[in-house]
Structure 1
Amino acid sequence: MPDLDDAHRRIAAAGYPPDQDPFEIGGVRMFFVKDPDGTPVEFIELPDGARSTYEMHRGVPLQLGPVR
């Protein structure tokens, strides 16, 4: 997610109060909110434009699709 703070504000404004403000663990920013059924949903913002934790830790893009 490119802008976690904006997502946090928009989700709260839509009537789904997040469980806490965004926080950081190991360079990854996150927060949780419960869906209408009470299931926790995690929103994360990865550092340096990474699109997955694989990219974040290995520094290479994750290739999706058939294995070659």
Structure 2
Amino acid sequence: MPHLTYTGPDPAAVGIVPLPEGWPALDHDEADEQLAAEKVASGKYRFTRPPAAKHDEQPARRARRVRDEE
């Protein structure tokens, strides 16, 4: 689960909940990866812990092929 760090306006100025988008003005875990990406794209958050990479067999296959060619 991605963890977001709030980087927007000072929470003392805007309040903790909610921002105009309905998002909290604080650091938090975000279960919805698409929403996490939207929050980061807004400039009000950054990833502290980005979403886990999706399993992809292709890099492993390429690594094996390179090893086998050496």
- What range describes the TM-score normalised by the shorter chain of this pair? under 0.3
Larger RCO (CA within 8 A; separation ≥ 6): 2
More strand by share: 1
TM-score w.r.t. the length of structure 2 is 0.24
More helix by share: 2
Q: Of the two, which has the highest radius of gyration?
A: 2
